[in-house]
Structures are given as structure tokens and as C-alpha cells.
Amino acid sequence: MASPLFLFLCFYSLFFTTSYSQRQSLLSTNYYQKTCPRFEQILQDTTTNKQISSPTTAAATLRLFFHDCFVGGCDASVLISSTPFNKAERDADINLSLPGDGFDVVVRAKTALELACPGVVSCADILAVAARNLVLMMGGPYYSVKLGRKDSLISTASSIDGNLPKATMPMNQIIQIFESRGFSVQEMVVLSGAHTIGFSHCKEFSSILYNYSTTSESAPSYNPRFSQALRDACANYHQNPTLSVFNDVMSPNKFDNMYFQNLPKGLGLLSSDHALYLDPRTKQYVDLYAKNQTAFFEAFGAAMEKLSVYGVKSEGKGEIRRRCDAFNN
């Protein structure tokens, strides 16, 4: 007779697979073909113009998309502004450093789409497609984005705790956060490759950069010359908390596999970056993607397609917001 644990695992696997398939079936790549035929063109024009005028937009939007999807699904809940009656997700401590360019590109696209086809396109779809377009614009892979998401009806800062990985978390905890959402260790590593673009504030890695131990100023996993350069660059971070450094110091404005090539050389920035190379569960994938950019691009595209349908809201469980930063009420 099967054990209760075995039956539970079978049920969980069946439930996750079924619900994932159901979410997929609600979406389609041509969802707006009749209701908003200029959707793709408007998104393309908006993301291109924004990235040209503000080169940090791609990394900002990709990070915003990830922070949205991992808390309750890809439903634009992170875009909601707080009110006197509700502290929203974007005001949780971990989200306070989300760059404004990510929010701005969504607002610009929503404004243009509301003029072309009012009340049709969700903010969640805008964010998902904007992230894909900007990855491609930075030299990364193209991947399909299915459409038809609805926007969330709730957004609370309290829902953030424990649901987003932090650079200072032990690898066990980071892996658990991904696995609880149906993502493998390999998918976690490949999504971490998004750090090939963007930057991090000095305070996010100061604990392994300064006064690391009685025998070492910085973590020994750092390249010594790199850690000295970082200490110099971040010297005044207490007085200026906006001080930041590129995640990939070798090719910060290009989406490539250089992030993975940096890790064995001690050129990772965050504690979690170093852990990816030091942990045997993840090192094999770091080595694979460092050697093979094609493998990285293929796996990244597949993981982003999977992430983009995580926890999407369907009719009756969401809405098409008139403004991306406020519920319709």
C-alpha cells in the first residue's frame, strides 16, 4: 500500500502540472490580434525609445518582472502604489531599491495603449512583453510571451517576506524559494544569469567586502584586485547609499554569458553570486553556461517562458487596470 507521503507527492505533482497547463491554456501569443492589433508595435516602440533614452531600463524592467512574478504570480501587483489604508508590495524593504525606469516604461506603454485600445491590455502583459523586448534589445535571446494575464486585485508589503531571494540568503534557502514555485536548481542558476546586466548598491554586498573576518578584509572568494577596486568604489556608501557597481563588470551593457565566466575568476559581486560557484549543486551549471552561451540562451528563454505564466490571474480573479499603479475600484 502506498504511503501517505507518496500519495501527497503524487497529488502535488499532478496539481502543479494540471494548474500549470490550465494557466497556459488561458493564454495565447495572439491574444490581442483583434482587440488591439497595434499592441506589439506600441510595445516595441515604447521599450526601444525608453532604453535609448535611459540605458538602465532593461535591467530595471527585468528585475521588476522577477519581483512581480515571484510574489503571487505575474499579475502586476508590484506596480500598485501604497495608500493611507494599504502598504503595497513596492514599498516593502526589498523593493525600495527597484529602479524607477522599470515602472516608467510600463506607464508609458499603458498610456499609449489606452489611447489606441482603451481598457483592453493588462499591465501584467505589458510588463512581461517589455521585459522580453528589452532582453532582446540588449543582445539576449528571443522567447515567446503568451498573453491574456489579468491584473491582481491585491498588493501588500507583508506578502513579500520570505518570497523573494536575497543576496545574503544561504543557498539552501534560495533553492527552496525556487523549488516551492516549481523551478529546478538548474532553472534557478540560469535565471540568475540575468545579472549579466544591471547593477547592485554597495550596501547589498558590504558584509562580504568590509571587515569580513579577523584575517581577511573581504571574502576570500573575491579576486583580491577586484575586491580592492570595489572597496575603493564603495568607500562612501554609508554617506551615499545610492552608490552602486555593475553586476557584470566585464560587459555590463550586453546580455551574454560573461556573468558566468566571471564567477570562477572571483569577479562575482554578491554573496549569492559567489555561492553559485562554490556550491556543488549549482557549480556544474555555472561551468556549463560559462563555456556555452548558446546553452545559456536556450535555457534562459525556456525558464523565462515558464516564469511568465507562473500564478497568472484569469477572468474573475483579476481585472484590466485603467492605471497600472491603482486598482480600478
- Cell 500519495 found at: 7
Summarised one tens digit per residue, pLDDT across range 266-304 is 999 999 999 999 999 999 999 999 999 999 999 999 999
Mean pLDDT of all residues in the chain? Answer: 92
Q: What percent of the chain has pLDDT over 90?
A: 87
Which whole-number Å values give the CA distances from 119 to 36, 37, 143, 238, in the listed order? Answer: 10, 14, 26, 45
Q: Which residues are catalytic?
A: 67
Summarised one tens digit per residue, pLDDT across range 92-110 is 999 999 999 999 999 999 9
Q: How far apart are CA 260 and CA 290, in angstroms?
A: 5
- Average pLDDT (25-39) is 92
Summarised one tens digit per residue, pLDDT across range 36-93 is 999 999 999 999 999 999 999 999 999 999 999 999 999 999 999 999 999 999 999 9
According to DSSP, the residues that pair with 151 across neighbouring strands are 319
Summarised one tens digit per residue, pLDDT across range 132-150 is 999 999 999 999 999 999 9
Please, are residues 290 and 261 in contact by the beta-carbon 8 Å criterion? yes
Q: Is 151 annotated in some ligand binding site? A: no
Q: Is 107 annotated in some ligand binding site? A: no
Q: Is 249 annotated in some ligand binding site? A: no
Q: Is 89 annotated in some ligand binding site? A: yes
Q: What percent of the chain has pLDDT over 70?
A: 92
Q: What is the pLDDT of residue 3?
A: 53
